[in-house]
Amino acid sequence: MAVRTAGRALAGAALALVAALVPATTQAAGPPPGAPGPGQDHPPRHRTADLPVFTSTGAIVDPLDETLPHNPNQEFIFPSVFHAGAHLADPLGEWYVYYAPHDDPGGINLMYADSLDGPWTQYEGSPVVANRWEGVYDVPHVSSPDAVWNPDERRMYLYFHGDNRVTRYATSTDGVTFEYGGEAVTTAMVDAAQPGRRATETSYARVFPNPDRSSPQRWAMLFMTNYDTNVRHINLAYSRDGRDWEVRPEPIVTPGPAEGVNVSAADLWRWRGQDYVVYGSTVGTIFARPVDRTLTDVGDPEPLFVPNPAPPEAGRASSPQIVTHRGRTHMVYEYGERSHTTVGHAVLDPDGVRDPLNTHPEDPLYAQCTGAGSDELDGDALDRSVWSTSVRGDLDRSVVADGAWHLPTYPGNSTSAPLVLRPAPGGPWQVTTQLTLDPEVNFQQAGLILRRDDATSLRVDVSHVDAGKRFDFVWRRDGVDRNDAWTAEDSALAPPETGDTVWLRMTHHGEWLTASYSIDGVTFRNLGRAAPADELAATDLGPFAYRGPEATPELTASFDWVRFTPTAEELATCS
């Protein structure tokens, strides 16, 4: 008999949703058997309903808990909710959640509870599926579990990946002991179904009854596919029995400007009569795309859930599973910086905050009510009582004229270019600037810098790279810039409609510093990963501009103003 021990839960901070991002285009998946084929006209089969707001209740498993039965890496991803009480004869609890570490060796864990609100108890026999199955497979890791009840066989099917090229399945009658089933989807199957493409990963699968009741294919699967382009898409497969699968010839979701480089961890969710594909993205937002019953007509992305940019959410949420039970709608998902993630729980909240980055849509740039320390830069010279710190001031060629502060893009970088700054206020605070610059050559850039010295600083900027115009949030620590090239989490390519004028914002939350940007002065979007304020220990902040090599053409960066967001007391005075 398993011994039941309660795992500790992390204290949760409220999460909220962000404003609508730039719509992206989608390649429709190939039609399933019986659906209209290419060139056959049919009206759109989906409509968009108002999406709900979810508020987080916090984590339901603590990745730092050393008493967990299986916790090799202090990180967990991809929760799968299973209504054990509705299907199993003698369940440990009414609800099961399967989850797993991401990194090697992985392993499928189980926790259970009598309510989706918890508390959750860890199954002491975890992992219930490991990365080695005698006589079957021996792989570096297994992860991304998805539990589905197959009523025809009266068994649970548990899908999981391991290694990244194969999604497998096992079956169980009690949800604890499993028999190996086989391989469900592989990269070879994707290559065969999609000539001209080369898949490198098939993982993060969710399986559900096919919403098209007229199709002979009873089951459908959404799964992530990475290709040799290193761009991750969502693909679709069908099956009659849950064992043998047919991959469709086109991805169902292709990432666009809203999502960033990658999309992943998709599920099908029905809300007010409309089906949605819900999934994670590079930018950290959980998006929802309306889709018709045949899973062929897919709409544009809409933000469903955007986590708080500061840790523990750290601006990243993914792998949603949404369940409505007895009138209460729950979302179980993963959140946190990659390799430091955990499983969270949120509930539909009619009074929840929709958009924490844009709390004053009537005055997003605080033009009517600025905070103390703001400078409209309307004169013909800097106020040196405000901008009192000079770094390499003998090189300064900036001027104030025509309602803006004009900085040349100096040769060098933030360790060699001149800076004119002001003392950083004590936290928390938020500062925004309006910047006009059109970088067209690599290394041309300008923005705001929060600085302790040349070796330690934090920058939010607009720049130019090989792929075009880009926004960056760069933490320089001990002389080295933080850079995650694989996930590109600290940068975002500018949307195609980005003009020469952009808005950059840096926020001090107390313990953490985050950044955001806007291309229209109305909607701000989270940018990059948070940086620890105490470790940075910054003393000054202000604008910067540089261009790297001397041979790079010099441009002028024009800062129209630098504004601090008013405090609640200042806002009350303004109103």
State yes or no: pLDDT of 466 exceeds 60. yes
* Whether domain 389-574 has CATH 2.60.120.200: yes
Residues 6 or more apart whose CB falls under 8 angstroms from that of 384 comprise: none
- Rounded CA separation 284/149 (Å): 30
- pLDDT in the model for residue 30: 36
Q: H-helix or E-strand containing 357?
A: none
- pLDDT in the model for residue 118: 96
Confidence bin at 306 (pLDDT 50/70/90): confident
- pLDDT in the model for residue 49: 59
Of the candidate CATH numbers 2.40.40.20, 1.10.150.120, 2.115.10.20, 1.10.3720.10, the domain formed by 4-348 belongs to 2.115.10.20
Instruction: Give the amino acid at 312.
Output: P
- pLDDT in the model for residue 6: 32
- Mean of the per-residue pLDDT values for the chain? 89
Residues 6 or more apart whose CB falls under 8 angstroms from that of 99 comprise: 61, 76, 77, 78, 79, 80, 108, 109, 111, 145, 343
- Rounded CA separation 276/541 (Å): 44
**What is the rounded average pLDDT of the residues 374-395?**
95
Q: What is the pLDDT of residues 257-302, one digit of tens each?
A: 888 889 999 999 999 999 999 999 988 899 999 999 999 999 999 9
- pLDDT in the model for residue 11: 30
State yes or no: pLDDT of 492 exceeds 90. no
* 72 CB neighbour count, 10 Å cutoff: 14
Q: What is the pLDDT of residues 509-553, one digit of tens each?
A: 999 999 999 999 998 988 988 999 999 999 999 999 999 999 999
Q: What is the pLDDT of residues 109-138, one digit of tens each?
A: 999 999 999 999 999 999 999 999 999 999
Q: Where in the chain are all domains bearing CATH 2.60.120.200? A: 389-574
Q: What is the pLDDT of residues 409-437, one digit of tens each?
A: 999 999 999 999 999 998 799 999 999 99
Dihedral pair phi/psi, residue 521, rounded to 5°: 75, 10
State yes or no: pLDDT of 484 exceeds 80. no
The tokens 């498993």 sit on which residue? Answer: 61
- 356 prior amide bond cis, ω within 30: no
Nearest to 489 by CA among 339, 378, 386: 339
Q: pTM for this structure? A: 0.83
- Rounded CA separation 385/128 (Å): 65
Q: Between these two residues, 360 and 270, which has the higher pLDDT value? A: 270
**What is the rounded average pLDDT of the residues 317-333?**
97
Q: Between these two residues, 99 and 354, which has the higher pLDDT value? A: 99
Q: What is the 3-state secondary structure (H, E, C) of 36-96?
A: CCCCCCCCCCCCCCCCCCEEEEEECCCCCCCCCCCCCCCCCEEEEEECHHHHCCCCCCCEE
State yes or no: pLDDT of 10 exceeds 70. no
- pLDDT in the model for residue 344: 97
Q: What is the pLDDT of residues 72-114, one digit of tens each?
A: 999 999 999 999 999 999 999 999 999 999 999 999 999 999 9
Q: Where in the chain are all domains bearing CATH 2.115.10.20? A: 4-348
- 411 prior amide bond cis, ω within 30: no
Q: H-helix or E-strand containing 118?
A: none
- Rounded CA separation 465/257 (Å): 16
